[in-house]
Amino acid sequence: MMEQEYLLNNDVFERFRALIYRECGINLTDHKRALFRSRLQKRLSQLGLTSFQDYYDLVVGGQSDEVITMLDYISTNQTEFFREPHHFTFLRERVLPELAVGKTVRIWSTACSSGEEPYSIAITLSDAVASPSTWNCRILASDISTRMLAKAATGQYSLERINSLPIDLVRRHFLLGKGNHTEVVKIKPHIANMAVFRRINLMDDRYPIKSLLDVIFCRNVMIYFDRKTQAAVLARLSRYLKPGGYLFMGHSETLQGISGEFHYIAPTIYRKRE
């Protein structure tokens, strides 16, 4: 059965744009209109609605958590294990030796999607330090999508997701499926136990973080914000990062002209000023 086509006129799209900007800072440009419509058509059909105006009224009506569901549908969740490998090399060779005296490390993965990023961080920590059981390692993994967080928390992935990883790494840190589940792998407990998953909206004034962080991964997030929102989010992130702490960003992102609280260390790696 063909999916129903819903029209999205200019006025209604502008209302959605303003709502989404207020809720999560994403700046929906005109060329994202078709993508927005295609991602939400199925949801309108599920709810038995006849128009995007009806859906807008439902979202802003405040009678449900539909705004969270809407953000789930429109958020982009593209990730992989050890994406942008130089960040993990830097973490292993530069950051962890600096923390070796206290043997405590606090890291936040701000847009963890389906979990590959925080688990890659945990694997790096486990492999990089001598006697990892003597370290106090905690990784906060957050996302705006509850659907992605639920998937990440399972620690389960299709076998093809780890095809590019070294075999010895897979043996150390993944459980391989058996019987009817040979196409599925699961993160081992010593890695999974390092990560805590929470829904956090970077647009909130305060985040549920009590201890200052050593590293924040905020990769491929700023590209969805305008410069005003980028500056505001960076200011908030800085509040939760230790002086001298590190901020990792995506390959197409930069802090140049946006924030003076960080100084450049290497491509896409910044350090909070002391």
- Check pLDDT > 60 for residue 1: no
Mean pLDDT along residues 220-238: 93
Known catalytic residue at 143? yes
Catalytic residue among 17, 106, 143, 219: 143
Residue 253 has pLDDT above 60, yes or no: yes
Mean pLDDT estimate for the chain: 92
| Residues contacting residue 54 through CB under 8 Å, at least 6 positions apart | 44
Q: Token match 């090399």: residue?
A: 89
Residues carrying CATH 3.40.50.150, the chain: 85-272
Contact 217, 244 (CB under 8 A): no
Enumerate the CATH 1.10.155.10 domain ranges in the chain, comma separated. Answer: 10-74
Buried b (16+ CB within 10 A) or exposed e, 238-267: bebbeeebbbbbbeebebeebbebbeeeee
Question: Catalytic: which of 15, 33, 37, 39?
Answer: 39
Class of the CATH-defined domain 85-272: alpha beta
Percent share of the chain, pLDDT over 90: 78
CB 270, CB 262: distance < 8 Å: yes
What is the pLDDT averaged over residues 43-61?
Answer: 93
Class of the CATH-defined domain 10-74? mainly alpha
Measured distance CA(252)–CA(249) in Å, rounded? 8
Kindly tell me if the per-residue pLDDT of 63 is higher than 80: no
> Is position 206 annotated as part of the catalytic site?
no
Residue pLDDT, tens place only, 107-152: 999 999 999 999 999 999 999 988 888 999 999 999 999 999 999 9
Nearest Cα residue to 202 out of 236, 252, 228: 236
Cα→Cα distances 11→4, 60, 94, 157, 262, Å: 21, 15, 51, 41, 40
pLDDT digits (tens, 9 = 90+) for 21-35: 999 999 888 888 998
